[in-house]
């Protein structure tokens, strides 16, 4: 998400992809951004704590499903 936010103003392709997604979803973009930031921070903390890779993969997979 950070990459998308940083690149969107400078990369037309990234900006278009983000814009297309926001237009086609019924989810609140601010709430979704907060969810993704929290998920990213949580995964980082868990990874540093040595949590099993399968647990991290489950968290990431679930977050990606929310985006669909």
Higher-confidence residue of 37 and 68: namely 37
Stretch (H or E) spanning 2: helix 2-7
Per-residue 3-state assignment (H helix, E strand, C coil) for 11-67: CHHHHHHHHHHHHHCCCCHHHHHHHHHHHHHHHHHHHHCCCCHHHHHHHHHHHHHHH
Confidence (pLDDT) at 51: 95
Q: What is the pLDDT of residues 20-60, one digit of tens each?
A: 777 777 778 788 888 888 898 999 999 999 999 999 999 98
């Amino acid at each position: 998400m950070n990459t998308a936010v940083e690149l969107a103003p400078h990369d037309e392709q990234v900006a278009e992809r983000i814009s297309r997604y926001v237009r086609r979803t019924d989810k609140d973009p601010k709430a979704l951004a907060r969810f993704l930031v929290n998920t990213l921070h949580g995964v980082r903390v868990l990874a540093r704590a040595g949590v099993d890779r399968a647990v991290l993969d489950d968290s990431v997979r679930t977050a990606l499903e929310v985006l669909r």
